[in-house]
Structure 1
Amino acid sequence: MILLELMDNIWIVLGLCLFIWIYGWAKESLGSAKLAILFAVIVFYLTFYSYPYLVWILAGFFIIQTAGKELMTQLNPFGGDQLH
């Protein structure tokens, strides 16, 4: 019972974080806040309700984008400055 409640809370927090991340990206890419909200709502709905397994792929991508950027620059097999 407690585990199910914990998973529900994790799902809500993950949803909010991904929604804000998608909105920020869409606002930067599309240039319009209203269009970005519409885009984020559509992507959020399709991801969380139609294809929930994609949430974990997006969560992994989010972690790589935020925490893995420095790691990728240290592990750059090609050398140089490609990841900056």
Structure 2
Amino acid sequence: MFVLLDGIADDIWIVLTLFIFVWIFGWAKDNLGSAKLAVLFALIIVYLTFYSYPFLVWLLVAFFLLQTLGKDFISEINPFGGDQLR
């Protein structure tokens, strides 16, 4: 049972690594203009994120989920009043 969960956790970790690498590569390619420089930049960021500071991965996942799923919820709450979130 634990071997299966360990395998699933490894698969999720690989998927997150690839997803974040492609996301950073796409952003870097648009902003840096060079594909080779974008690959180097994305590799450095992914290495630092996943191997040096792995807790940042879960912060990125939480931020991504909040941005995609929680945008409507946050705009309904609007604790500051006014129209800041639109």
TM-score by length of 2: 0.77
Note the C-alpha offset of 1:79.
Answer: 2.5
How far, CA to CA, are the matches of 2:34 and 2:75 in structure 1? 32
Q: Structure 1's 33 and 65: CA in aligned 2 closer, same or farther, altered over 3 A?
A: farther
Given candidates 17, 20, 30, the residue that maps to 2:19 is 17
Structure 1 counterpart SS, 2:85: coil
Match of residue 48 from structure 1: 50
Moved over 6 A (4+): none
Contact preservation (8 Å) 1:26, 1:39: yes
Q: 2:43 corresponds to which letter in structure 1?
A: V
Match of residue 36 from structure 1: 38
Contact preservation (8 Å) 1:18, 1:59: no
Match of residue 7 from structure 2: 5
Aligned residue-pair number: 83
Note the C-alpha offset of 1:74.
Answer: 1.3
Structure 2: give runs of 5+ residues left out of the alignment.
none
Structure 1: give runs of 5+ residues left out of the alignment.
none
Radius of gyration: which is bigger? 2
Q: Structure 1's 73 and 23: CA in aligned 2 closer, same or farther, altered over 3 A?
A: farther
TM-score by length of 1: 0.79
CA RMSD, aligned part only? 1.9
Q: 1:11 corresponds to which letter in structure 2?
A: W
Note the C-alpha offset of 1:11.
Answer: 0.6
How far, CA to CA, are the matches of 2:11 and 2:78 in structure 1? 36
Note the C-alpha offset of 1:33.
Answer: 4.6
